[in-house]
């Protein structure tokens, strides 16, 4: 994986981030989701480099081989605001004061927060398979509660850690396959889900989501704060964005004036399942 990429640990203040980066040209930050690491982009990142971009693929704080912060009572150490600040510091350390940002799944919430909190840093925003947390919760019905029960289970103290630790492969890896993910990506994923500190930090992501992250987004809406840069929303045809929201672009329109988007034929982990079409969509939008 990531042939020709630098693989470093970079101090961003409270934690060190594991990051792979390569290329010359417009910098693009790729932010993974749960329960993946930066390696989920291993089929997309080299293609973007070949197309003339500088590509940066970190493990978010708490995830993969990046540092774990001290857990706070309100879980704000894993808030999207704090993770976004990590990313700005990381990109600055790599010499990029402005950059395009792409976020998938939980990483889409970090990408949104980056664009809202650091508008001068984010030149273009891409969000994949996720709507703002506050929007999802405002629309929560019996279907959402049934299909996305993990949001609420993960927010409970202690019990999710115990359930996952009993058999991480049964919890996470039953739907993951080395054939579809790539052998090295799969092994990195399995290493993460078998690390108790990583599992707890990933759960803290969800605990922050239902609390401080939701509050931050609701404050944005009250204050009329929106994304200032061009924004692209992509969703997987075999995920549940359309089942949950009908036209998912309608959910995003109040958040970004310059919005466009379309679906990609794929399951949820689009960077692994359909990297060619995803790369083409990113190249077209970012160029």
Catalytic residues: 105, 268
For residues 148-179, b (16+ Cβ closer than 10 Å) or e, as one string?
eeebeebbeeeebeeebeeebeebbbeebeee
CB atoms within 10 A of CB 245: 18
Helices (H), ranges, the chain: 45-50, 80-93, 106-117, 133-138, 142-147, 149-154, 159-166, 168-172, 178-181, 183-193, 196-208, 214-223, 241-245, 248-252, 270-273, 275-286
The answer to whether residues 127 and 252 touch, using CB atoms and an 8 Å cutoff, is yes
CB proximity list for 198: less than 8 A, separation 6 or greater: 62, 63, 64, 68, 192
The answer to whether residues 98 and 120 touch, using CB atoms and an 8 Å cutoff, is yes
DSSP code of residue 173: G
- How would you write 28-96 as a 3-class SS string? EEEECCCCCCHHHHCCCHHHHHHCCCEEEEECCCCCCCCCCCCCCCCCHHHCHHHHHHHHHHHHHHCCC
From the list 74, 50, 62, the residue with the least C-alpha distance to 17 is: 62
Q: Verify cis geometry, omega within 30 degrees of 0, for the bond prior to 35.
A: yes
């Amino acid at each position: 994986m990531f042939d020709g990429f630098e693989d470093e640990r970079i101090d961003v203040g409270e934690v060190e981030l594991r990051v792979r980066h390569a290329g010359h040209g417009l910098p693009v930050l790729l932010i993974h989701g749960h329960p993946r690491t930066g390696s989920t982009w291993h089929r997309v990142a080299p293609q973007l480099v070949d197309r003339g971009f500088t590509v940066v693929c970190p493990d978010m704080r708490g995830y993969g081989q990046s540092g774990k912060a001290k857990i706070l009572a309100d879980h704000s150490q894993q808030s999207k605001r704090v993770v976004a600040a990590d990313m700005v510091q990381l990109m600055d350390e790599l010499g990029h004061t402005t950059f395009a940002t792409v976020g998938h799944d939980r990483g889409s919430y970090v990408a949104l927060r980056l664009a809202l909190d650091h508008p001068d840093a984010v030149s273009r925003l891409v969000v994949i398979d996720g709507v703002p947390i506050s929007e999802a919760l405002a629309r929560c019905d019996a279907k959402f509660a049934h299909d996305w029960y993990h949001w609420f289970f993960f927010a409970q103290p202690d019990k999710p850690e115990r359930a996952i630790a009993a058999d991480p492969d049964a919890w996470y890896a039953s739907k993951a396959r080395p054939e579809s993910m790539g052998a090295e990506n799969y092994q990195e994923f399995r290493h993460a889900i078998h690390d108790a500190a990583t599992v707890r930090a990933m759960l803290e992501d969800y605990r922050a989501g239902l609390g401080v992250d939701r509050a931050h987004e609701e404050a944005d809406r009250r204050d009329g704060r929106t994304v200032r840069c061009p924004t692209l929303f992509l969703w997987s045809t075999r995920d549940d964005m359309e089942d949950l929201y009908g036209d998912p672009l309608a959910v995003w329109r109040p958040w970004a004036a310059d919005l466009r988007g379309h679906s990609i034929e794929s399951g949820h982990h689009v960077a692994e399942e359909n990297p060619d079409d995803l790369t083409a969509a990113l190249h077209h939008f970012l160029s």
